[in-house]
Amino acid sequence: MDEKALLDDRLMAAYRPMRTVSGGDESPWPGTLVRAASGHTCVVVESRRFGAEWPGWSADPEGHVLGALDLIRRVEGHDVVVPVCVERVDAFVRRREASGAPLSLGETVTLAVSVVRGFAELTPVGGAVGRWWVTDTGRPLFACGVAGDTVAQASAELLRALEAPRAAAALDEAVRAVLAERPSRQDLDAVEQRLFDLARPEPLALTVFGPRRARATATTDAPADAPWTRRRSAIASSEDEPRGLLATILRHIDADLGDAASRVATDVWRRLRSVGSGGRRKPWLLAGGLAAAIVTGGFVWPAGADDAGGGEVPAVSAPSERGEDAPRPHDATSEGNTDPGVEDGSEAVTDDADEGAASDRESTDAAAAPEPAPGDLVTIANELLSARSACAGGADCLSNVVEDPSAAFPPGVVDLPTDARSLSLVDEFGGVAVLRVERVDGASAAQLVVVVRGGEGWLLRDVYDVESD
């Protein structure tokens, strides 16, 4: 490994590359799907794909505009970490319609309010172009800077596509609000409240109608020459850090000084992003300007007297805490429940309310049942592999272990005794999980195992061979 690759590897040690993603229908931008040390998945994109005016630099982390989650230093520049977008929202709505189970009224409220809020966030930008995507956590986000329509046109088109007779009048009002020549915040807030009056918001159910097979998302390792094949990154710190004013652009100075400035500026950007959005202070706006500068040049960030610290802030603040009358988004994402909903400003959403909403969807087992913790999925998959080996090919026995008892799996580490193999969770999609199986002694190639939740428990779906790292 050459010196550059070795340094990149050290700089990016905390992100594990999983596979490449292409643009088009798979993701807003080409990049690399990675797993952070926290266990969350995200996508790393080369910073050259984002201009200095990209609205995502200053996007509200709790809003509905796709923004940068982290900046990653590397020898020849920076990479940008963004959320995993699994599907365009228009395609998601069509898929639900085609499945014979369209969006519920509560889901329609969630999606429509998200669209109205995302549009409102981008109103000051003026003419932002892109597409609406839904993340792996079920959160609708507008991705700016990709081929598509203006945010007004894209939002209006999406609102028109929502077929909910009880919400028709409110949706028509929302379309008029986003297409207004001079959009009014008061009108947008009124639209939100009218939508909230229709039904309690519900999380978007992405996979309740039979998750798509995980082959495409589980088996493609990043190519050997991809920037993220051997590189990892340091995780952002959440400590408070002093901030000052931006000083000198370092485009044509000594490389060592430029590298030091890049390191400091990147770290400060991360820490500004980690500060919550409580009150009127919005440090991500300052962080956005810094991020744009980092990826287009380099900066010295002198210490300043103004403290960016604000303490830990809840993911969602009540309207009164934000100094706003309009209801704000409710991020229902939690460990094992990755579908966020939208909170009605008229009353707080409690655990009991969440349970009540879930009981209304008992027919959709993939959405109603809680996801096992990562450790539980490892145990489940391990037990399924052992049970499959014990079946010795018996069809009746395998019917309780394998989704398709006639399926032939490639031999390998999955056939080893329990004490000779180790499993780790690669990703979980809500009813489908992918795990990596390796020999304890590392003597042979790893395999990927896909397990899927059936009516009475988890079953093996697929096993794939993967090349050694």
281 has pLDDT over 90: no
Output the pLDDT for position 372. Answer: 58
Cα(103)–Cα(341) distance, integer angstroms? 13
Please give the average per-residue pLDDT across 347-355, as a whole number: 40
Structure tokens at 207: 């996979």
204 has pLDDT over 70: yes
Q: How confident is the model at residue 92 (pLDDT cuts 50, 70, 90)?
A: very high
Range of lowest pLDDT (128-137, 204-213, 296-305): 296-305
Please give the average per-residue pLDDT across 204-230, as a whole number: 46
What whole-number percentage of the chain has pLDDT above 70?
A: 59
37 has pLDDT over 90: no
423 has pLDDT over 50: yes
Instruction: Show Cβ contacts of residue 306 under 8 Å, excluding neighbours closer than 6 positions.
Output: 242, 243, 244
Please give the average per-residue pLDDT across 407-431, as a whole number: 86
Q: How confident is the model at residue 273 (pLDDT cuts 50, 70, 90)?
A: low
Cα(451)–Cα(433) distance, integer angstroms? 5
Q: How confident is the model at residue 24 (pLDDT cuts 50, 70, 90)?
A: confident
Q: How far is CA 308 from the centre of its chain?
A: 26
Output the pLDDT for position 374. Answer: 52
Judged by DSSP in three states, 461 sits in: strand
Phi, psi of 189 (to 5 degrees): -65, -40
Please give the average per-residue pLDDT across 303-332, as a whole number: 36
Output the pLDDT for position 373. Answer: 60
Residue, of 86 and 342, whose pLDDT is higher: 86
| Residue 29 burial by Cβ neighbours in a 10 Å radius (0-12, 13-18, 19+) | buried
Please give the average per-residue pLDDT across 89-93, as a whole number: 94
- Tokens 């969006």 locate to 103
Instruction: Show Cβ contacts of residue 348 under 8 Å, excluding neighbours closer than 6 positions.
Output: 318
312 has pLDDT over 80: no
Instruction: Show Cβ contacts of residue 46 under 8 Å, excluding neighbours closer than 6 positions.
Output: 31, 77, 79, 80, 227
Q: How confident is the model at residue 60 (pLDDT cuts 50, 70, 90)?
A: confident
Judged by DSSP in three states, 257 sits in: helix
Please give the average per-residue pLDDT across 445-457, as a whole number: 85
